[in-house]
């Protein structure tokens, strides 16, 4: 694997790896010009040569840059750095410079066990506040899940990763037409599971599933293993009420 450059755009110093996703890796960084800690998202080298993934990555930066709200992780800058691979061939490595959030992923918090109802509702309200803001900006997140929410040291909710967000008016962005399942099946709305058009209600459904997970410690259909069976459960099954679990 190609070694990530240590300095991007002549100012962003790349530090330790602090997170990894399907498309990208996130490093701790330093903006040497402003003297502040940042997070730097780098598209995985294996995907950087694919024009589709590079387009998705650039679109993520553009969409997230439109979000200026305390409950949404800020994007400061984005670009592409020319690097040389192991064979000496030059290629472009896209990057996104983001606000560094000192906290824990909600996914890790849930792994410790169910939250007290009052705290679960507080976090759920923060997520809904972020969604209200993004929906007013005409963006549907489409991948609300515990792995895309951070809780800062002082308890602030921070929603991140608008990598597969779509404009509310873009009804053509369906699972069937993209040829891939975008999002995380445990948090799919019925219309996502069917491969149909989606809108802001998709995010609200996912937030409801997430709130269920906060209260119970697991999602309503986490016991279902097969992906197709899981998608069908969101379409046709009623979850067991949290009070019974």
Which sequence positions are flagged as catalytic? 143
* CB-neighbour burial class of residue 193 (10 A; exposed 0-12, middle 13-18, buried 19+): buried
Evaluated on CA atoms 204, 136, 62, 192, the torsion sign reads positive
How many angstroms separate the CA atoms of 101 and 153, rounded?
Answer: 9
| SS3 label, residue 104 | strand
What the block records as the tokens of 241 is: 């009420």
By the 8 A CB rule, do 230 and 221 touch?
yes
Tokens 């991140």 -> residue = 160
Q: Count Cβ atoms within 10 A of the Cβ of residue 161 and give its class: 0-12 exposed, 13-18 middle, 19 or more buried.
A: buried
């Amino acid at each position: 694997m190609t070694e990530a450059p240590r300095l991007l755009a002549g100012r962003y110093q790349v530090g330790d790896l602090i997170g990894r996703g399907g498309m990208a890796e996130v490093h701790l960084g330093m903006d040497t010009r402003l003297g502040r800690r940042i997070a730097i998202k780098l598209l995985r080298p294996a995907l950087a040569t694919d024009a589709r993934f590079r387009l998705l990555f650039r679109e993520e930066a553009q969409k997230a840059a439109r979000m200026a709200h305390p409950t949404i992780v800020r994007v400061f800058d984005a670009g592409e750095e020319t690097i040389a691979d192991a064979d000496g061939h030059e290629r472009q490595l896209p990057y996104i410079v983001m606000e560094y959030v000192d906290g824990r992923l909600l996914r890790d918090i849930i792994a410790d066990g169910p939250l007290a109802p009052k705290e679960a509702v507080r976090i759920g309200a923060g997520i809904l506040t972020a969604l209200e803001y993004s929906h007013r900006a005409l963006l549907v997140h489409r991948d609300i899940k515990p792995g895309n929410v951070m809780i800062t040291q002082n308890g602030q909710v921070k929603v991140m990763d608008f990598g597969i967000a779509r404009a509310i008016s873009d009804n053509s962005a369906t699972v069937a037409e993209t040829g891939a399942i975008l999002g995380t099946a445990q948090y799919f709305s019925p219309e996502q599971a069917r491969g149909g058009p989606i809108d802001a209600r998709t995010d609200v459904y996912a937030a409801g599933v997430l709130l269920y997970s906060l209260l119970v410690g697991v999602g309503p259909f986490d016991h279902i293993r097969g992906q197709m069976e899981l998608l069908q459960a969101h379409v046709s099954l009623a979850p067991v009420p949290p009070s019974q679990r």
